[in-house]
Every structure is written in structure tokens, then in C-alpha cells.
């Protein structure tokens, strides 16, 4: 029979009236309803006595019955008829007029339901027919405490899956829909919508969509009670998750827009807080096109509290744009980041895996952002404008669209038909030598979406690519004798070339790039002037025709030279005009900083632009602005900390190819005056290193990591906790630079901060595998020896394991000489230590060495065993106690020492015998105790025996 303790000890005086005088309040060997078993009381059977007390005039009697219902059910569960009689009494008790009785009854329903679930075969429908109606009825109870109890019980039963689906749809949901009706009481309506929101995640998707979703959408627009809308906004993400993507986008997103525009600022704040949960349920298209502009509105909300909540949710919202196929990383089930190799043709944003030029352009492209709606005049202006729009029409534009616009702009620069369209064999040779645009790079690749003039260095000229672009826009040529005229038509007007030349004169002083562009433009200008002569100079064309008739191959070759010359001039001019702004300023070359970047490019200086196409650009702009000191004054003083906390998620979303967008922000956060911000970055720098890869880590994170090493202990602990994770990502040469800096962790701002040194010892155990045995001996051994002598015992115990790991490192790499030197250091520092704590540490180290078998046995018995056995004469009993435990518990259990022919066994047994007759009883106890019993003994036994 189950027994439960008496919880209401303050009612002890009342219990005295029912025979509990001899029971103390903390008595745990009685049941609350034990008075039902008192023989001879009223000469009534237990069932009748139960009914008597259940409907007694004394409120306390009814409370006791309600509180002990579980025991009553267990007592009468053997007889089905008696059990049903008890259930009828419970139903009548549920109608008690006293709220405390009803509350006590409701609190007992979850354990009773569990009991019925365990005995479902005996009572299959009791819960459904008797208890669920009580819970549902109490949802409308006039007493607030009873209603709260019934709501909690209902959620517990749903969470434990104790309510049948039929009961949910026909008993629970109808009452909730009635309570949340428009004409319902305001208090009941607010409680009902709260239950609906909380239980949505516990029900099936079909049930929520069919029964609860329409009412939830109706409640989101409740204009009478803002508390109802507030509950809906708070749990909006849970409802979206419960109904799925299709229903969310069809029914809930419009309501979400309404709530985000609510007049009450608390509603908008609640929407900002659940924005990430809503975004996770929508498609990428809806997330980008609808939710992003909506979030920008919340960030710009006039209420400071709304802006604060929006900025706190900005990083998590950006993380919902993450795609493992873009970033090349994914999160394992254990929560750690793992590198995933890029899949071929995974997305239009990623470069073609087999094209090195595309990969380079993807890493080093620099989009130029201009206003697309500014009217431009002139052929070159229109083409330049169209190309700029192709690169920067906005974050929502597909890269393929940008490439199409760029192609059209280049076609307008060279509008005439190509001179090669009728040249025999040119098409075939080009097709065989280089694949067309459709096969060389898929639509939307960086090669299509960005021109060569945007590269960080001047690209090598590729005539075949230029010819392919011309052939793609070429028309039909009827007469090969018109080659000079076609060259004139296909080139840029001389007036435009002259205008660009004039604009470049002032920039060509010490810039070789500008000088090269001037040379190309000058050649193009001369060609244009030569082609503009009168028609009387058409004789070379006739001569060429004659040569063609006499020798077709010679004519073909001559025409190819002439056309190629004009085509290269036109394309070179087109590229320069593309990089020229509306006012004639050359993009990139007019900026000395940009020119310097092209002359001396370095990986960590390229791509200073904050533009990317993974997430909407306004979101990224707002995120990087979180480091602005003005934000701390107008939004939240901790806004920089929220930015730092979510930065790894944002970096994972953008991918390492867009790290340049966050680099300045990260450096600003790393130098923030608040140590909490720097501490947040320190705890996540190892995760960011995985995201960025070894090259970017060495260039951008290592300097910040070095700064954290010299920071406050509150910041250094973040670096220290993941020191191994960060160092293993570095190259060997870079990793060796930190060997000397590791000793700086031993010194702390506060000597009492022993957990810092404890963490250092744990990390050093892992770091050993990253370095060679000689590096370990030169740099890490003295740190381990210092930690083994620490003042705090917890640090010493973990440091003993470090010493064992070092010995294993030496001997596993066949560096026995280093191992012997380390053993000598241990003997000198600890065996002959003047303090007994050091000698005790030597005994523990020897025991750990034998237990881990980290060194050969012959090395142990030769170099460590004599020093260990000499501790038997130590004057301090604590040292001899640990020696006795080491010998009996570990050493004698090894097969080597159990061999009767072992020459070292005799001396060990003599030492054990001496310890058994030791004058200290604790030493003799552990020396005499059998090994099996000793294994389960703990040092706490000594304290109890004392």
C-alpha cells in the first residue's frame, strides 16, 4: 500500500482529533487517509466511512479525502465495483461548494491519471468518463484559483499524452471555443486564448488547423480586449510551428502584419520578440519579400521598447536565412559545427566548383551601388547605368537577372553586327575551344553577374570570352567587304571616348591602371577617327575583296585581324566606360585607396563593401549599426552585447565569402569598453573560426584572440574554455606561437580564482596532442609541475592527470629520454618536497601512472617504485594512507605484480606488511583492507569513523 507524507503540518491540531496524536509532522510512514482504516470507528465499513467523511460538514474532512484520493484509488482498485463507487464519490466531491476542496481535488488528478494509465487494462474508460469532464467543467469555475488549477492540470495531461484524441476534439476544444467566443466574458476569454496557444504545440497539426486556427485568427483581431491580442502575439510563433508553413503563409502572416501595426506598443514588442519563430515557419521567398520589410519597420518603431526588442531579435532573425549549401557548414545533432563540402551547382549565388576564375570572383567581387532611377543620357551612360543596376539593383534581385542586364548593357555598347558572323570556321573554332555562356558558367554565376572591371586586380585578357559575347549579339552580315564600316558601327562614338579620356587625365599621374586605360581609349579613339573618313577611302575594302577571291584563307585571316582589333578596342573601351560614373569619374581608379588595393591586394583587405546577396541588405545594415554608440543611447545600453551574442549565427548565415561585411563590426565589438561584450565574443571565437576557415582565422581572428589573452580574467576564461578548439584550427607554425603564451594563463588577476587554473589544466590535457613531445617538454612541463603544486586541492587533482597524460605523450612517441627527465623532475619536486602535500601528490601520481599504464612496467619499477616505497617511513600519516591505498588498490592488482616470480613483489609485500602494523589506525586500515572492498571505500569513511 502506497504511503505519502503529511504535507500540511500546520493542521496538526486538527489531526489530533482523528487519532494522529502520536504522529510527528515529519512522519513519513502514514497515509493522509489512514483514519479510514481505524478498526471499530463508528462500526462502519471503509467504503461507507469514506462516503461519510467525503460529505462531512467539516471542511477539513473533505480536504483530507480530496488530498488522499490516490491512496484511496489504490486501496479499492482490486474490486471494480468498489472502484466505480469511489469514482462516483469523487464526482460528487467535485461539486463541493468549498473552493479549497475543489482545488485539492484538481491537484490530485494528474497522479490519478498516471495510475489509471498504468492500469488501463483494468479501467480503460474511467479517465475519459469521469475525470476529464471534471477538468473541463472547472475551466468555467467561478473561483479563480480553481480555474488556474484546472488549466495547469489540462496542460499536464496533454503533455503526458493522457487524453484521448476523441476527448480533445469533443470535450476540450468545444469548451475552449465557447470561452473564447466574441460574446464571452473578458476574463474567461483571456484565459481560454492562453490555453489554446499553449496546447497547440501538444496537439496534432490537423486538429489545430481544423478546430483552433480559425478562432486564433479571429482573436488576433479582437478589438475589444488588448490582453487577448497580447497573448496571441506572444504565442504567435508557437501557433505557426503547430500549423506548418502552408497555413502560416495563408492565414497567419496577414494577421501578423496587423499585430505588428497595432496601436498598443506592447503588441508590437511581442511581435518583435517572436519574429524568429515566425520566420522559421515561412518559405525563403516570404521571409525575404514580406517579413524583412516588416522587421525593418519594427526596428524603426517610434517606441524605444519595440526597437529594443527588435534589435535583440535581429541576429536570430538573420540566422533564419541560413542555408548549409551556401555556407558550407551544418550543425550536428550535438550542436557542434561541421564542415560540409560544397555541392556542385548548389545555388546561383555560389561559384562554379570547377572554375577557379569564378571562385576568385566570388571571393573578391565588389558590387557598386548606384541609384537605379537616376536618368542618364548618352549611349555610354545608359550602358554604364544598366551594368551598375545589374550588380546593385537590390538584395532581392536574382543574380541571373543582373547578368542579363549586364549583357544587354554590353550589347548596347557594341550595337552593330559582328564581323565574325560570316567568317568561315570562326564559330566552330570558338565553340570547340571554349564553351558558350550556357555551359561555361550557369546563369547567375559571379562570371555572369559581375564584370571583370570589378575584380580586385586587372584580369588577364581573354579574347575568346570577348568574342563569344560579340557573337552572341551578332547579326547576319551579307557582305564581308563591309568590315571597316561594321567596325565603325560597332565601336563607341569618338565623342564619348574623348570625354572619358579627358576625365582620366587628372588621375593618371602615378596610377599604372589608369595609364593602361588611357592607352586603350587612345587606340580606340584613333580607330574611330580613321573609320570616320569619307567613302572615297573604300579602296582597301575592294583590294581586300580581290585578295579574298584569290586566296580565301588570306582574306579570312586579314579580316579576322581587322575585326578583332576593332572588337578589342570596343570591348576595352566598354569596360572603362562601365567603370566610369555619370559624372565621368572612373570608378575605383579615382580613389587612391582603391588603386592601392589593386596594386597590392591582400586577402584581409579585399571586399570592403558591405553588400551581399544572402540576406536583405537593410537587415545587414541595421545589424552592423548595432555597434554605433548612438544606439546605446537611443535603444539599449546592452545592444552591443546582443550584437556580439548573435554574431556567429549571422556569420554562418552569410558564409565565409561575405566575412568582409562583418569584419569591421567584429573588430569594433572586440575593442568595446564593456567587458561583457568582449567576454561574449571570447566564448564564441572558436565557433567563428570554424565558420571562417583557417585562412580568415589566421588573418582576422588571431589578432583579436591575442588581445583576449591579455584581457581581464572574465574575458580570458571564455578563450580558455575553448582553447583547444581554437588552436586545433590553426596551422602548425601559427599554433607553435602560442606555446610561450600558455604560461600566462597561470597568472590570474585574483589568486583565489582557482577555477581558472582548473580549466587550464583540463585544456592542457587536450592540447598535448597538438604539439610534438619536444614542444611539450620545453613549454608545457613546467606549467604542469606548477599546477601540481597549486594551493587548491581540486587544481592539484586534475593536474595529476595532466602529468600522467604528459608521460603517456612521451612514451607513446618513443621519447623515453624526455619521459625519464620528466620523472626526475617529479621525484625532485614532489618526492623530496619539504611539505607533506607534495609527497602525497607524488603517491597519487604514481598510483595514476600505474592505473593508466602510461609507461612501461619496467620503467616504472626502475625509476618510480623505489621512491614510492620510501614513503612508508614518511612522518605524516596522510602520506602513508595514500601510499597504502596505492599499493593495495592499484599496484597489487596488476598482473605484473601478481606473478609469484616477480623480483619486486617481495619488497612491495614487505612495505604493505609494515603499513599494516602502522601506529596510525587509518594507515593500517587501508593497508589491511581487501582490494575489492577498498575499491568501494571512499575517504569519507575516515570522517565517519572519527
Tens digits of per-residue pLDDT, 925-944? Answer: 988 876 554 444 444 443 44
Q: 330: part of which helix (H) or strand (E)?
A: strand 329-331
pLDDT grade for 531, boundaries at 50, 70 and 90: low
Helix (H) or strand (E) holding 790: none
Residue where the block lists cell 569519507: 940
Residue 194 has pLDDT above 50, yes or no: yes
Structural domain includes residue 581:
no
**pLDDT score recorded for residue 928:** 85
104 is a domain residue? yes
In a domain, 673, yes or no: no
Percent of the chain with pLDDT over 70: 63
Model pLDDT, residue 133: 92
pLDDT tens-digit map of 157-168: 999 999 999 999
> Using 50, 70 and 90 to split pLDDT, how confident is the model at 553?
very low
Local confidence band at 313 (pLDDT 50, 70, 90 cut-offs):
very high
Q: How many CB atoms lie within 10 A of CB 695?
A: 12
Element (H, E) at 167: helix 165-167
pLDDT at residue 338 greater than cutoff 60: yes
Higher-pLDDT residue of 514 and 560 is 514
Question: Are the CB atoms for 165 and 207 separated by under 8 Å?
Answer: yes
The four Cα atoms 604, 605, 611, 614 give a dihedral, to 10 degrees, of -10
Taking a C-beta distance cutoff of 8 angstroms, is the pair 578, 453 a contact?
Answer: yes
Query: What pLDDT was estimated at residue 556?
Result: 41
pLDDT at 92: 87
Query: In terms of Cα–Cα distance, which of 870, 811, 818, 810 is closest to 846?
Result: 870
Q: What is the mean pLDDT of residues 218-234?
A: 89
- For the chain, how many structural domains are there in total? 1
Cell matching residue 295:
522587421
pLDDT at 876 over 90: yes
Place of cell 543611447: 633
The pLDDT assigned to 760 comes to 95
Residue 736: pLDDT over 60: yes
Distant-in-sequence contacts of 899-905, Cβ < 8 A, 24+ apart: 904/861, 904/865
Sorting pLDDT into bands at 50, 70 and 90, what band is 42? low
Residue-wise pLDDT for 257-309, tens only, equals 999 999 999 999 999 999 999 999 999 999 999 999 999 999 999 999 999 99
Confidence check: pLDDT of 490 > 50? no
Which of 55-59, 390-394, 487-491, 672-676 shows the highest mean pLDDT? 672-676
Q: What is the per-residue pLDDT across 45-64, written as a single tens digit (0 to 9) for each?
A: 777 878 788 888 888 888 88
Give residue-wise pLDDT tens across range 420-456. 333 344 344 333 444 333 433 333 433 334 444 433 4
pLDDT of residue 669: 95
Rounded to 10 deg, the angle between the 617-624 and 660-670 helix axes is 20
Query: Which CATH number goes with the domain that contains 53?
Result: 1.25.10.10
Per-residue pLDDT for 373 more than 70? no
pLDDT tens string 554-591: 444 444 443 444 444 444 444 444 444 444 443 433 34
- Does residue 32 fall inside a structural domain? yes
Q: Give the pLDDT confidence of 709-734 residue by residue, as tens digits.
A: 999 999 999 999 999 999 999 999 89
**Strand ranges (E), 768-896:** none
- Rounded Cα distance between 10 and 823, Å, is 66
Mean pLDDT highest for which of 318-327, 344-353, 386-395?
318-327
Q: What is the pLDDT of residue 530?
A: 57
Instruction: Read off the DSSP letter of residue 9.
Output: G
pLDDT reported for residue 511: 55
Q: What is the pLDDT of residues 882-912, one digit of tens each?
A: 999 888 888 887 777 666 667 778 888 889 8
Q: Is residue 12 part of a domain?
A: no
* Alpha-carbon torsion (556, 561, 564, 570), positive or negative: negative
> In Å, how far from its chain's centre is CA 232?
28
What is the rounded distance in angstroms from the CA atom of residue 892 to the CA atom of residue 896?
8
**Residue 723 CA, distance from chain mean position:** 19
List Cβ neighbours of 608 (8 Å cut-off, separation of 6 or more). Answer: 366, 660
What is residue 48's predicted lDDT score, i.e. its pLDDT? 80
The pLDDT score that the predictor gives to residue 892 is 81
Task: Give domain status of residue 598, yes or no.
Answer: no
The predicted pLDDT at position 34 comes to: 52
> CB under 8 Å to 599, separation ≥6 — which residues?
512, 513
Q: How many CB atoms lie within 10 A of CB 290?
A: 17
Q: Output 655 or 342, whichever has higher pLDDT.
A: 655
Closest Cα to residue 765, out of 708, 809, 827, 726?
809
Please tell me which of 73-87, 400-414, 629-643, 675-689 the model is most confident about, judged by mean pLDDT. 675-689
Q: What is the mean pLDDT of residues 96-104?
A: 91
Query: Using CA of residue 836, residue 842, residue 843, residue 844, what is the dihedral sign?
Result: positive
- Confidence (pLDDT) at 588: 38
pLDDT band at 534 (very low <50, low <70, confident <90, very high): very low
Residue with cell 488522499: 68
pLDDT of residue 407: 38
Out of 512-521, 718-727, 791-800, pick the least confident: 512-521
Nearby residues of 254 by Cβ (< 8 Å), 6 or more positions away: none
Q: How far apart are CA 869 and CA 469, in angstroms?
A: 87
The predicted model gives 368-373 an average pLDDT of 35
798 burial level (CB within 10 Å; 0-12, 13-18, 19+): buried
- Identify whether 48 is part of a domain: yes
**Model pTM score:** 0.64
So what's the pLDDT on residue 514?
A: 56
**Domain span including residue 159:** 28-163
Residue at 521 is within a domain: no
Q: Cβ(698)–Cβ(731) under 8 Å?
A: yes
Model pLDDT for residues 134-159, shown as the tens digit of each residue = 999 999 999 999 999 999 999 999 99
Q: How confident is the model at residue 110 (pLDDT cuts 50, 70, 90)?
A: very high
What are residue 580's DSSP bridge partners?
Answer: 586
In this prediction, residue 741 has a pLDDT band, given cuts at 50, 70 and 90, of confident
Say what the pLDDT of residue 809 is.
94
The predicted structure's pLDDT at residue 512: 52
List all residues 6 or more positions away from 416 whose beta carbon is below 8 Å from its beta carbon.
475, 486, 489, 490
Q: What is the pLDDT of residue 555?
A: 40
Average the pLDDT over 504-519 and give the result: 58
Answer yes or no: is pLDDT of 464 > 80.
no
SS3 at position 660:
helix
Instruction: Give the model confidence (pLDDT) of 698-707 as tens digits.
Output: 999 999 999 9
Say how far apart CA 628 and CA 613 lie, in whole Å. 24
182 has a pLDDT exceeding 60: yes
Coil/strand/helix, residue 339 = strand
pLDDT at 652: 93
Mean pLDDT in residue range 232-245: 94
At 376 the pLDDT is: 34
Residue 805 half-sphere exposure, CB side, CA atoms within 13 Å? 22
Q: What is the mean pLDDT of the chain?
A: 74
Task: Label residue 838 by pLDDT band (50, 70, 90).
Answer: very high
Greatest Cα pair distance, the chain, in angstroms, is 139
Looking at the predicted structure, is the pLDDT value of residue 113 above 60? yes
Amino acid at each position: 500500500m502506497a504511503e505519502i507524507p503529511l504535507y500540511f503540518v500546520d493542521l496538526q491540531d486538527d489531526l489530533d482529533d482523528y487519532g494522529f496524536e502520536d504522529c510527528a509532522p515529519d512522519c513519513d510512514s502514514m497515509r493522509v487517509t489512514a483514519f479510514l482504516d481505524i478498526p471499530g470507528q463508528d462500526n462502519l465499513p471503509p467504503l461507507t466511512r469514506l462516503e461519510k467523511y467525503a460529505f462531512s460538514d467539516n471542511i477539513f474532512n473533505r480536504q483530507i479525502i480530496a488530498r488522499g484520493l490516490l491512496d484511496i484509488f489504490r486501496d479499492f482498485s482490486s474490486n471494480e465495483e468498489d472502484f466505480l463507487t469511489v469514482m462516483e464519490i469523487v464526482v460528487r466531491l467535485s461539486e463541493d461548494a468549498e473552493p479549497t476542496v475543489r482545488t485539492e481535488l484538481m491537484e490530485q488528478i494528474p497522479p490519478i491519471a498516471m495510475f489509471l494509465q498504468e492500469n488501463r487494462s483494468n479501467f480503460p474508460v474511467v479517465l475519459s468518463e469521469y475525470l476529464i469532464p471534471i477538468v473541463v467543467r472547472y475551466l468555467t469555475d467561478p473561483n479563480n484559483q480553481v480555474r488556474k488549477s484546472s488549466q495547469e492540470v489540462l496542460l499536464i495531461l496533454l503533455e503526458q499524452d493522457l487524453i484521448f484524441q476523441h476527448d480533445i476534439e469533443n470535450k476540450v476544444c468545444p469548451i475552449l471555443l465557447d470561452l473564447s467566443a466574441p460574446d464571452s466574458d473578458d476574463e474567461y476569454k483571456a484565459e481560454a486564448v492562453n490555453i489554446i496557444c499553449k496546447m497547440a504545440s501538444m496537439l496534432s497539426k490537423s486538429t489545430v488547423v481544423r478546430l483552433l486556427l480559425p478562432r486564433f485568427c479571429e482573436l488576433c483581431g479582437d478589438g475589444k480586449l488588448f490582453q487577448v491580442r497580447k497573448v496571441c502575439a506572444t504565442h504567435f510563433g508557437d501557433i505557426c510551428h503547430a500549423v506548418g508553413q502552408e497555413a502560416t503563409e495563408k492565414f497567419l502572416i496577414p494577421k501578423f502584419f496587423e499585430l505588428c501595426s497595432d496601436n498598443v506598443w506592447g503588441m508590437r514588442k511581442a511581435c518583435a520578440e517572436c519574429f524568429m519563430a515566425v520566420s522559421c515557419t515561412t518559405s525563403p521567398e516570404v521571409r525575404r519579400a514580406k517579413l524583412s520589410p516588416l522587421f525593418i519597420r519594427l526596428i524603426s518603431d517610434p517606441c524605444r521598447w519595440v526597437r529594443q526588442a527588435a534589435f535583440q531579435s535581429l541576429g536570430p532573425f538573420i540566422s533564419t536565412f541560413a542555408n548549409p549549401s551556401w555556407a558550407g557548414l551544418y550543425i550536428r545533432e550535438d550542436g557542434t559545427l561541421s564542415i560540409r563540402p560544397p555541392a556542385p551547382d548548389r545555388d546561383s549565388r555560389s561559384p562554379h566548383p570547377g572554375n577557379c576564375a569564378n571562385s576568385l570572383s566570388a571571393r573578391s567581387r565588389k558590387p557598386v551601388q548606384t541609384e537605379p532611377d537616376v536618368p542618364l543620357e548618352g549611349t555610354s551612360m545608359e550602358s554604364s547605368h544598366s551594368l551598375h543596376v545589374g550588380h546593385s539593383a537590390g538584395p532581392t534581385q536574382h543574380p541571373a537577372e543582373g547578368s542579363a542586364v549586364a549583357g544587354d548593357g554590353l550589347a548596347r555598347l557594341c550595337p552593330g553586327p559582328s564581323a565574325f558572323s560570316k567568317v568561315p570556321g570562326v564559330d566552330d573554332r570558338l565553340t570547340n575551344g571554349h564553351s558558350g555562356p550556357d555551359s561555361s558558367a550557369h546563369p547567375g554565376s559571379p562570371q555572369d553577374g559581375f564584370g571583370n572591371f570589378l575584380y580586385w586586380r586587372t584580369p588577364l585578357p581573354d579574347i575568346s570570352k570577348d568574342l563569344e559575347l560579340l557573337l552572341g549579339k551578332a547579326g547576319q552580315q551579307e557582305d564581308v567587304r563591309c568590315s571597316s564600316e561594321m567596325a565603325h558601327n560597332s565601336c563607341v562614338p569618338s565623342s564619348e571616348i574623348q570625354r572619358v579620356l579627358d576625365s582620366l587625365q587628372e588621375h593618371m599621374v602615378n596610377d599604372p591602371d589608369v595609364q593602361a586605360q588611357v592607352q586603350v581609349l587612345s587606340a580606340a579613339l584613333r580607330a574611330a577617327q580613321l573609320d570616320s573618313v569619307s567613302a572615297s577611302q573604300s579602296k582597301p575594302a575592294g583590294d581586300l575583296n580581290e585578295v579574298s577571291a584569290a586566296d580565301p584563307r588570306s582574306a579570312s585571316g586579314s579580316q579576322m585581324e581587322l575585326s578583332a582589333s576593332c572588337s578589342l578596342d570596343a570591348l576595352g573601351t566598354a569596360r572603362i566606360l562601365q567603370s566610369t560614373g555619370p559624372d565621368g569619374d572612373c570608378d575605383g581608379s579615382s580613389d587612391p585607396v582603391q588603386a592601392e588595393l589593386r596594386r597590392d591586394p591582400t586577402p584581409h583587405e579585399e571586399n570592403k563593401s558591405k553588400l551581399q546577396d544572402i540576406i536583405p541588405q537593410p537587415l545587414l545594415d541595421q545589424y552592423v549599426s548595432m555597434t554605433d554608440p548612438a544606439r546605446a543611447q537611443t535603444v539599449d545600453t546592452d545592444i552591443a552585447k546582443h550584437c556580439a551574442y548573435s554574431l556567429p549565427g549571422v556569420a554562418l548565415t552569410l558564409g565565409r565569402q561575405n566575412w568582409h561585411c562583418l569584419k569591421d563590426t567584429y573588430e569594433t565589438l572586440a575593442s568595446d569598453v564593456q567587458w561583457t561584450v568582449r567576454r561574449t565574443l571570447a566564448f564564441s571565437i572558436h565557433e567563428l573560426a570554424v565558420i571562417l576557415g583557417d585562412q580568415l582565422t589566421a588573418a582576422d581572428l588571431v589578432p583579436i584572440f591575442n588581445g583576449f589573452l591579455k584581457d581581464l580574467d572574465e574575458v580570458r576564461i571564455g578563450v580558455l574554455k575553448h582553447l583547444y578548439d581554437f588552436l586545433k584550427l590553426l596551422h602548425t607554425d601559427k599554433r607553435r606561437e602560442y606555446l610561450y603564451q600558455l604560461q600566462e594563463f597561470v597568472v590570474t588577476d585574483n589568486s583565489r580564482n582557482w577555477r581558472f587554473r582548473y580549466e587550464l589544466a583540463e585544456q592542457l590535457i587536450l592540447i598535448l596532442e597538438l604539439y610534438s613531445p619536444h614542444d611539450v617538454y620545453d613549454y608545457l612541463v613546467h606549467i604542469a609541475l606548477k599546477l601540481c603544486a597549486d594551493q587548491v586541492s581540486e587544481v592539484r587533482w586534475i593536474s595529476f592527470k595532466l602529468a600522467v597524460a604528459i608521460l603517456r605523450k612521451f612514451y607513446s612517441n618513443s621519447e623515453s629520454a624526455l619521459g625519464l627527465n620528466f620523472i626526475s623532475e617529479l621525484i625532485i619536486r614532489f618526492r623530496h618536497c619539504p611539505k607533506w602535500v607534495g609527497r602525497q601528490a607524488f603517491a597519487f601520481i604514481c598510483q595514476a601512472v600505474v592505473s593508466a599504464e602510461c609507461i612501461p612496467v619496467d620503467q616504472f619499477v626502475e625509476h618510480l617504485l623505489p621512491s614510492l616505497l620510501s614513503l612508508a617511513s614518511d612522518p605524516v600519516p596522510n602520506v602513508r594512507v595514500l601510499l597504502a591505498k596505492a599499493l593495495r588498490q592499484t599496484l597489487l592488482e596488476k598482473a605484473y605484480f601478481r606473478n609469484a616470480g616477480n623480483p619486486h613483489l617481495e619488497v612491495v609485500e614487505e612495505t604493505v606488511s609494515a603499513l599494516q602494523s602502522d601506529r596510525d589506525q587509518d594507515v593500517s586500515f587501508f593497508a589491511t583492507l581487501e582490494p575489492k572492498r577498498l575499491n568501494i571505500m571512499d575517504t569519507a569513511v575516515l570522517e565517519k569513523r572519527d
